[in-house]
Amino acid sequence: MNSPIITKMEVIPVAGYDSMLMTLSGAHAPVFTRNLVILTDSAGHIGIGEIHGGDYTCECLNAMRELVVDTPVVRYREIMQKIHRVFNHDLGEDGEGIQKLEISKLKFVVKSEWAIECALLDLLGQYMEIPMCQLLGEGRQRTEVEVLGYLFYASDKNKVPQGEMQYLDEHDSPDPWFRLRREEILTPARVVEEAEAVAEKYGFRNFKLKGGVLAGETEMETVRALKKRFPNARINIDPNGAWSLKEAIALCRDMHEYITYVEDPCGPEGGYSGREIMREFKNATQFQVATNMIAVDWRQFYHTVSLNACDIILADPHFWGFDGAIRMSQLLTSWGLTWGIHSNNHFDITLAAFAQTGAAAVGEPAPLDTHWIWQDGQNLLEDTPQIINGKLQVPEGNGLGVHINMDRVMAANALYNSLPSHDRNDAKAMQYLIPGWTYDHKKPCLVR
């Protein structure tokens, strides 16, 4: 009876700066985009959420406004039900999802309404005077969440011609990591420097290397160099399915002393799905494998576990929703499997959401992914959660436990509005490095 009413829903697209990070799909552009949802209720509380960028997602969010406004905050589940009834996802429109990492299909895998869910949970937590993690699953399980140092190869930003949008230059930053993250990092020794810098700044004890960039043998050389420098660290590699099954087996079979688990080492080939090929990889190597490509919804998850194709499901709440991500942690724990979170470039609103989700996950989660170290300093919050000793500190306030800075948000919105395109395009930046470059899901981006 006394629940505040949602009086306003704002959708604000924003942009931030990135490094020339290399992945199978190409090179990150100088700027990445996100969409923010800001809800205001009749008690004066503000709830916030963040989701992937692009016009498609922004338009979807704006279309949902009338299903959200004028509803009591405590009926947030009814709001989500209405959204799912009205905006029913066509199971056929996303084809194979992201088994082949086609960036254009991410908009079908990422569900825009999860930004609304986050903002609703933020409001509900403020109304009930409890942290958001207490509203998820069985409630808070921990006060800090282990995260890993997400390492990338990075190319030379100076190869982008004058007149084009330039990458951020931080060569005069007093912070050693901020300087290094904008430089070229393409050798095993340089990746070790990268790991040393983020270990010093954030205290990381575990690392993940984004592969699918150089020849597989070179990437394994990088893994061995990392393990030599950090002998007690868990080292993982994610080539996004770039390797053939034969190549993945050859590369990984003798790497058990260096690699803890392999994420999406291979994908669909020869008429077999990524799930079937991953099962064969596990048989041949006896490695634990993780995925954010072959199980991105409940139907795909059913087939993945039926084949025993994966041990670690990286359940990004932007794919699964916050309630869904925690349900996944409960299910995996009961089956003796492992839960984690996958990440894309994001602002600190997502960092706070990851902290709350990780705090509520049951069992022993794998260290969570986060790109935040590459965006650190572009804060949209007054009180960005901190990573200390390799662990993300869970905000202690109600709801998300953080407060938005609207001046910074509007500056990020102005950057967004200055862009010629709002959709992700990793091929364009690659074409500065390799003229005529095109994406091939079985060719590492620099192997041409």
Order of strands, sheet of 144-146, starting from the edge strand that comes earlier in the sequence: 144-146, 391-393, 387-388
From residue 136, how far is each of 132, 322, 377, 379 by CA, in Å?
7, 8, 29, 26
From residue 375, how far is each of 71, 210, 298, 345, 411 by CA, in Å?
35, 17, 31, 8, 15
Catalytic residue among 52, 100, 208, 210: 210
Catalytic annotation on 443? no
In angstroms, the CA 137 to CA 367 distance is: 19
Phi then psi dihedrals of residue 368, to 5 deg: -75, 145
Angle between helices 76-86 and 113-128 (to 10 degrees): 170
From residue 189, how far is each of 185, 195, 203, 213 by CA, in Å?
9, 10, 20, 16
Q: How far is CA 316 from the centre of its chain?
A: 6
Shortest CA distance to 216 belongs to which of 173, 187, 252, 182?
Answer: 252
Is the separation of the CB atoms in 403 and 382 below 8 Å? yes
Q: Residues 194, 200, 206, CA angle at the centre, nearest 5°?
A: 70
In angstroms, the CA 384 to CA 354 distance is: 12
In angstroms, the CA 22 to CA 191 distance is: 13
Catalytic annotation on 52? no
Tokens 């982008």 locate to 160
Catalytic residue among 342, 371, 422, 441: 342
What lies within 8 Å, CB to CB, of 59 at 6+ separation is: none
What lies within 8 Å, CB to CB, of 104 at 6+ separation is: none
Tokens (6 digits) for 94: 């996303």
From residue 356, how far is each of 108, 297, 388, 398 by CA, in Å?
25, 21, 16, 11
Shortest CA distance to 211 belongs to which of 150, 288, 253?
Answer: 150
Is the separation of the CB atoms in 325 and 301 below 8 Å? no
The residues with which 272 forms a beta bridge, in sequence order, are: 269
Looking from the CA of 77 toward its CB, the CA atoms found within 13 Å total 4
Which residue numbers are catalytic? 210, 342
